[in-house]
Structure 1
């Protein structure tokens, strides 16, 4: 996923939400509408979330250290998870609390009747611009995946987070407009409370979805099936490898995949020939999948008889355990 595209979408969402938050707060102060207060807090939370995503992207670019030898790429997942917590607590739970309070003490909008409707319509226009930017940037990288697949499978968290936040913001604005509109028409403040409650339920739902998806990324996800197949073809299409004994992949960050494989190789005459063969396989893997930046290949002599006996087919206990003369080379 393009980091530049994600940053562009985040900045667009941040600018929109700051402007929207200010206008909503003014509308709340003039009218006392709980829907406007809930939407104000929602916009403030979204603005903070976009700031967190930008901070996470910046911190993830730090160089690897002895304590963190694989770098800080996963820090983007950490900040995306914090975003889901902020959205759940500051946005969703506050809206539900405000709805509960307003339901037990309903009162109509008694002055500045035109302000909340005007503000909400203007906010819908600004939020639509932000949402359009996120859609355009996402279309550059999602390929043929559906929107649901894109949100669930994307390894870079920024665009899915902004997409869900903007979608939630637009739906929330419509719910607020309905609540405020019905309150103005009927003079019954319970409509305002109902709109606020609907906004709270919406934000909590989106926050839970974000938390589940980012939790999976934090735990560590491997490459998708199509990418695994490309790696396997790259390994076995040359004469250097007879077969893959076993292989694992792991995303160290949104744009850095680790590939670790034990491979069955011919009986090379010299170590130099073996090293050249491994280098050739690494080059093919990177050509097939550029995001595969950390590669560990462990060469071994495959034994069909050992495989039938229940082992992994590796000849020799030292190589099978990854110790001693395993021949492992790092493509880092």
Structure 2
């Protein structure tokens, strides 16, 4: 089978399209012939941390396709079923959080290939309102956004949600989901083009990440901040969040170390909450939410598998608004 294989060097220099033997599913597993797959920043982080001595790896956590083989004992699914892949392996119940969740696409081979073998429990029927392109880019980013908003932040209708750094997959899903849930949504970005794009989706306010946030919000305070940036913007959060507000962190694009004056947390009764990915239970809830409200991903650009290096260069440049995906089958 054709696959995007990472080996020999770290970073994008180690990524090449080549051929690998297609695996057969074991007991309790299925094989999916992929139609589409989606890129995540996680793929870049994994490539950066790999070394010449590491075994070849097929990256990719997101994908959708058609089941073409069943392993022993699989009775709930049939060959020919159209499915979307839940990328978190072995995390079934929302409240039973694993120490380190296993995710498809490292260390287990992932979706940047013509076929992928996954546990049968990680296959969900593809929502009928989604195209193959939309289904392929949905899983990890949409799941992360759903858990951040509903499981961790417990957003309510009428609350003001601020999303710094609009443009990537999680942020754009969060924008759409929060608006659907009745929240007021404001966004920031360093890119005027992305702010203009966000305004097309009727956000409350869209302003520069580098400006005075209190001034840009015209004195309004926010209930929830979804943080994927970290130290570069964190001081601003404390200036614009309401007492009893929630900061939900799911990324650290500007670094891991944040210096926070504790009094700025405990006097206004703030909650600083961590989140990442989500459970099988939440994945099912997220798909039902998307179907009920006919929410579809915002797709920035789709590339053929042979042009995967170009797709990651676009992601590295931070140019996208929405998800970047691959057409495979």
TM-score interval, smaller chain: under 0.3
When Rg is computed on C-alpha atoms for both structures, the one with the higher figure is: 1
Give the TM-score normalised by structure 2: 0.22
Structure (1/2) with the larger strand percentage: 2
Give the TM-score normalised by structure 1: 0.22
